Amino acid sequence: MSDTPLLIAGLGNPGAEYARNRHNAGFMAADVIHASYRFTPWRARFHGAIAEGSLSDRKVILLKPMTYMNESGISVGAAMRFYKLPLSALVVIHDEIDLAAAKVKVKTGGGDAGNNGLRSITATLGPDYRRVRLGVGHPGSSSRVTSHVLNNFTKAEEEWLVPLLSAVAEAAPLLARDDETGFMNKVAVTLKPPVKKPKPAPAKDE
């Protein structure tokens, strides 16, 4: 187990008008993780809201940048510098339009795929941090992307969103163990539990 604290940053935009936007999936995930384990109350720091706790006996700092999505790097960078963390100790949770709705993938490094929050963090710290990508689906054309992510999840989408966020929170301790594959498997199994085969009926006496 790493002695280095883990910073989990959920991305979104502050303010009630953005609270249920698809772009705020990262905020929502951070809130569910916060509610699922013993964390301190949220408090203002690093141009964001932070809470401290532990997962799998590893110190974890949850962070919700309050800088607006496009300036996420200001908040994440300030926290990373304060705790003197390497990029390997950063996990960013964000919405992903290039992933089918309700899907979850973890990757390290790479491009920002048009996500301005990732772009800001990468410009501040470099690209080699882990990203938990929460699929919100693509609207079909690039001209509709902004309105897609800045609109609320629909009632129908809430039916998969709530279980998805719960599954991410349940699997979060595996992120603290640096077990990305285990995390993705746990989320998948939680969302689609294995089907139990019915027991064969006892043979009838002829």
Q: Which of 96, 107, 105 is nearest to 145 (CA)?
A: 96
Q: pTM here?
A: 0.93
pLDDT in tens, 80-136: 999 999 999 999 999 999 999 999 999 999 999 889 999 999 999 999 999 999 999
pLDDT in tens, 140-174: 998 999 999 999 999 999 999 999 999 999 999 99
pLDDT in tens, 52-75: 999 999 999 999 999 999 999 999
Q: What domains are there in the chain, each with its CATH number? A: 6-191 (3.40.50.1470)
Residue 201 has pLDDT above 70, yes or no: no
What single string gives the DSSP state of each residue in 72-124?
Answer: HHHHHHHHHHHHT--GGGEEEEEEETTS-TT-EEEEES---TT-HHHHHHHHH
Segment holding 157, helix H or strand E: helix 155-176
> Residue 122: what pLDDT?
98
**Is 23 part of the annotated catalytic residue set?**
yes
